């Protein structure tokens, strides 16, 4: 007897339904520079050569990691797409790049058009927040490769910066100030430890209300990663930014040194900002050392700007008026390697 592709586990009709469902959503992210429609083999994007006379393209790729396990458990899929975009655009932003366009890769064992559309809604929202266009992607249905109702996500962002405006940390000097911008919570890092502590050890349930958090565990753990594009462009031209760091896996100690010139390090004052209760919950439930917490999590600071000390007040005012909670959290000092957290 003959066999069909659908009997093998791949439903082309469901894929066609999915494309029809997401096309109107995706088009809402299009900028005037997008020259192609949905459905072609590749996307076209025209650079604005009046705005960028010495354009340097900046690219970054990332995923959401095991935070997806939380989405599967809670059966909530409309925020992980924001995480995906945030992890990519926040990275390219550290070089001063304006995010231009984004592409996603969505892989699943069996495609469910409605659930997949929820994922794309998150990606669309992330692109809107970042000001970039979702110009393409790939949906891979791979029977037997993923567990039932599970999927994986990865993304790719491209931005641009004028050659003379690249921010690479070379101008950072001793005495410069470190501005920390608040995270929304865990963002998209450390979830292997989160799941080990809260679910395996503390035996908490995904839908459990947690008084210290003021919400359910699912609500807290699925808070999307904050996108900091508007924060930088609010400062640009008004405050000289010498360096930026996206605080992801490795925390402040692991990410801040990546932008320092030789013989420069930093001292960070941990009492200068609000450490969200979710970090305290994890530390207490898992008996995790504070040093380990700072190595794994952002601890309430999702993005860092390094500026001249004379510009601190101005920068804080700009960021706070733009809706970002920002704090003076430290300063640059002489030294190599390890960040001091006091």
Q: Is the pTM of this model over 0.85?
A: yes
Read off the DSSP letter of residue 167.
-
Helix pair 113-130, 80-93: axis angle to 10 deg: 30
pLDDT band at 257 (very low <50, low <70, confident <90, very high): very high
Residue range(s) in the chain whose domain bears CATH number 3.90.650.10 = 177-341
Residue range(s) in the chain whose domain bears CATH number 3.30.1330.10 = 12-165
pLDDT > 70 in the chain, percent = 100
Residues 264, 268, 273: CA angle, nearest 5 degrees: 150
State in Å, rounded, how far the first CA of the chain is from the last one.
72
* Cα separation, 110 vs 128, whole angstroms: 28
To the nearest whole number, what is the mean pLDDT of the chain?
96
For 162-203, write each residue's pLDDT tens digit: 999 999 999 999 999 999 999 999 999 999 999 999 999 999
For 34-60, write each residue's pLDDT tens digit: 999 988 899 999 999 999 999 999 999
For 97-123, write each residue's pLDDT tens digit: 999 999 999 999 999 999 999 999 999
The mean pLDDT value for 267-284 works out to: 96
CATH of domain 177-341: 3.90.650.10
Which residue, chain included where needed, has tokens 């996108």? 227
Query: What pLDDT score was predicted for residue 2?
Result: 87
Can you read off the two tokens belonging to residue 273?
Answer: 């900002």
DSSP state string for 78-139: SSHHHHHHHHHHHHHHTTTPEEEEEEEEEEESS--HHHHHHHHHHHHHHHHHHT-EEEEEEE
* Cα separation, 155 vs 110, whole angstroms: 20
CATH of domain 12-165: 3.30.1330.10
């Amino acid at each position: 007897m003959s066999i069909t592709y659908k009997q093998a586990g791949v439903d082309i009709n469901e894929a066609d339904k999915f494309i029809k469902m997401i096309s109107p959503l995706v088009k809402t992210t299009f900028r005037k520079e997008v020259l192609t429609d949905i459905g072609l083999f590749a996307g076209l994007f025209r650079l604005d050569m009046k705005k960028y006379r010495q354009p340097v393209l900046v690219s970054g790729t990332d995923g959401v990691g095991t935070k997806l396990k939380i989405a599967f458990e809670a059966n909530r899929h409309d925020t992980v797409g924001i995480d995906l975009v945030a992890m990519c655009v926040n990275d390219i932003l550290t070089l001063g790049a304006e995010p231009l366009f984004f592409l996603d890769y969505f892989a699943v064992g069996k495609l469910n058009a409605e659930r997949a559309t929820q994922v794309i809604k998150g990606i669309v929202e992330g692109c809107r927040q970042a000001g970039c266009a979702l110009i393409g992607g790939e949906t891979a249905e791979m029977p037997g490769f993923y567990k039932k109702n599970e999927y994986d996500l990865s993304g790719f962002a491209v931005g641009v910066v004028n050659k003379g405006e690249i921010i690479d940390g070379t101008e950072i000097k001793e005495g410069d100030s470190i501005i920390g911008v608040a995270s929304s919570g865990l963002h998209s890092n450390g979830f292997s430890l989160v799941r080990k502590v809260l679910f395996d050890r503390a035996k908490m349930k995904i839908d459990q209300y947690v008084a210290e958090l003021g919400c359910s565990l699912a609500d807290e753990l699925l808070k999307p990663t904050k996108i900091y594009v508007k924060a930088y462009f609010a400062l640009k031209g008004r405050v000289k930014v010498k360096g930026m760091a996206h605080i992801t896996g490795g925390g402040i100690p692991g990410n801040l040194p990546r932008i320092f010139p030789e013989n420069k390090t930093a001292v960070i004052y941990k009492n200068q900002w609000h450490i969200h209760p979710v970090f305290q919950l994890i530390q207490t439930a898992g008996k995790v050392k504070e040093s380990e917490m700072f190595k794994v999590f952002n601890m309430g600071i999702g993005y860092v700007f390094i500026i001249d000390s004379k510009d601190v007040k101005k920068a804080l005012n700009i960021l706070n008026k733009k809706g970002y909670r920002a704090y003076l959290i430290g300063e640059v000092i002489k030294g190599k390697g390890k960040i001091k957290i006091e």
